[in-house]
A and B are shown apart, each in its own frame.
Chain A
């Protein structure tokens, strides 16, 4: 089971939630819209939007590709419930995908190396569990932290059945997070590459966090947007926020969804994708 099914107040919100759950960018995911939200009286949401998403199968590895085809031929567990096998049905999202291209295709460089191992290694890799991959990533990170001279711990946290987080904790790790988490992104990138290089396995489900940066970011965003939401309620005027990553936008949507009198939508494409807070009827 690789698909996640997620609901949201709008298709976009649901998609973002799904991407956040998978921990990938839009162009690394296949998203199917299961149902559009249904509006009730006064524009209230009666039925939530529902989407299914999975990490896009990629890579020239013949064995895995064959598996994918078989499975998608079999209907992919409701994926074509409404005849929507195409990924990213909405045209707007097609453009959005392009915009995240620098982030995208993150799987591909890693896959280059996959052609190299001998057959038996490949078999072994296929049987490699996420837990084993996480251990490899953990050892890699520990060694790297040593090289930096940091006294830090790397814990493996199972976020769900298919996602592990390698959580780095210690003192003064700010440099490993970097401006807007950019160094952390590089850390996650290279950890995935290393795990994949050594074991030819998919590593999309390995997340790296440093000093609870992700958690703190969520908490900070939540507090911040609660204030904005109150302002919007008081003024009755819409308020566009600055562009943010999908994960950050999800936090905004989720937070505002719990506040009466304010609603959210996403606008803009590519790097300009941003959330707008608006007073609701």
Chain B
């Protein structure tokens, strides 16, 4: 992945080409403690893999990451029909997904925050 700071940077270097890593400087200015460029790679890859595995329409899964201070916010977009599947009853599946993404974040030394949004 390229840089994760300095304005809007879209990176699509993942195999599938459908993951966009978007910088978001609302919360962190240049010079702040920024997450290292690349630190979000593993959490994003794990999120994407899990969302696609869970979804009925994996092609409609999109994962965006934006750095937030000392962590990364990961937004998962799935087809409307897949929301229930990815979230699960009482949020159980979403919770498991967050736990597994957090482990990926821990590996890279960053905090993660996963949002699941429908289209």
Contacts and interface: CB of A to CB of B under 8 A. Distances in A.
Contacts, number: 78
B54 A178 contact: no
Interface stretch (B2-10, B67-75, B93-101): B93-101
Interface in A176-215: 176, 178, 182-183, 185-187, 189-190, 193-194, 197
A130 B57 CA distance: 25
Contacts of A175: 103, 106-107
Nearest to B100: A186
Contacts of A182: 99
A110 B85 CA distance: 8
Contact of B54 (A106, A185, A186, A190): A190
A143 interface: yes
Contacts of A116: 56
Nearest to A146: B49
A237 to B, nearest CB: 40
A190 B85 contact: no
Contacts of A148: 42, 45-46, 103-104, 107
Measured as residues with beta carbon below 8 angstroms from the partner, the interface class of chain B is 20 to 34
Contacts of B84: 112-113
Q: Is the interface of B mostly helix, strand, loop or mixed?
A: helix
Contacts of B93: 109, 189-190, 193
Nearest to A105: B89
B114 to A, nearest CB: 12
Nearest to B45: A147
B28 interface: no
A128 to B, nearest CB: 17
Interface string B53-72: 11010000000000000000
A108 B89 CA distance: 7
A190 B87 CA distance: 11
A140 interface: yes
B89 A194 contact: no
Nearest to B50: A190
Contact of A144 (B46, B85, B89, B106): B46
Interface string B22-34: 0000000000000
Nearest to B85: A113
Contacts of A62: none
Contacts of B102: 183
A127 interface: no
Contact of A143 (B53, B89, B92, B100): B53
Contact of B42 (A149, A186, A187, A189): A149
A258 to B, nearest CB: 36
Contacts of B45: 147-149
A86 B48 CA distance: 44
Interface of A: 105-106, 108-110, 112-113, 116, 140, 143-144, 146-149, 175-176, 178, 182-183, 185-187, 189-190, 193-194, 197
